[in-house]
């Protein structure tokens, strides 16, 4: 297959994974989000790296604050709560190896949160990702979250 076609296909799949991460987190679907890291790890802005789906699930369930439809703070329960956020991911920059088997991707994120009728930017920064292609396809191997613009995250994250 032509390398240009490989690059285009890889970009499409990787973009979908990156955007799905934001969609799953905003929807309050930690099972779906953690599945993205079944073969990978995530290094949060603060704290230890979580490896594999189970560790990523525990990390997000303990760090992210969740709300029910009436905006009451509640423990995480799939389909019953969300963090009331919108993660916007932009400015994706791809660096592929020659064989199109690995990709380093940098992107920029902004997090909005809507509570009590107020829509506020609570964080902004960068994701530094490493993707790997196996026989099963592309997967997120590593994600580092770098918060560069911290707003009031007290209603979004614990600690």
Tens digit of pLDDT at every position of the chain (159 positions): 799 999 999 999 999 999 999 999 999 999 999 999 999 999 999 889 999 999 999 999 999 999 999 999 999 999 999 999 999 999 999 999 999 999 999 999 999 999 999 999 999 999 999 999 999 999 999 999 999 999 999 999 997
Both tokens assigned to 48:
């230890």
Beta carbons within 10 angstroms of residue 147's beta carbon: 16
- Which has the closest alpha carbon to 146: 66, 56, 43, 51? 43
DSSP 64: B
The model's pTM: 0.95
In this structure, are residues 107 and 130 in contact, taking their beta carbons and an 8 Å threshold?
Answer: no
Buried b (16+ CB within 10 A) or exposed e, 2-18: eeeeeeeebbeebeebb
The ranges assigned to domains in the chain are 3-150
CATH code of the domain made up of 3-150: 3.10.450.50
């Amino acid at each position: 297959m032509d390398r240009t076609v490989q690059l285009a296909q890889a970009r499409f799949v990787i973009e979908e994974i990156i955007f799905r991460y934001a969609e799953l987190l905003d929807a309050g679907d930690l099972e779906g989000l953690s599945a993205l890291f079944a073969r990978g790890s995530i290094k949060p802005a603060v704290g230890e790296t979580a490896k594999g789906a189970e560790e990523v699930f525990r990390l997000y369930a303990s760090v992210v604050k969740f709300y029910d439809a009436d905006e009451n703070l509640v423990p995480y329960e799939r389909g019953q709560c969300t963090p009331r956020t919108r993660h916007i991911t932009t400015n994706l920059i791809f660096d592929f190896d020659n064989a199109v088997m690995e990709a380093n991707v940098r992107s920029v994120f902004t997090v909005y949160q809507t509570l009590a009728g107020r829509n506020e930017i609570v964080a902004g920064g960068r994701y530094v990702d490493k993707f790997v292609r196996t026989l099963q396809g592309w997967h997120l191997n590593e994600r580092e979250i770098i918060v560069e613009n911290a707003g009031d995250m007290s209603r979004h994250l614990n600690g």
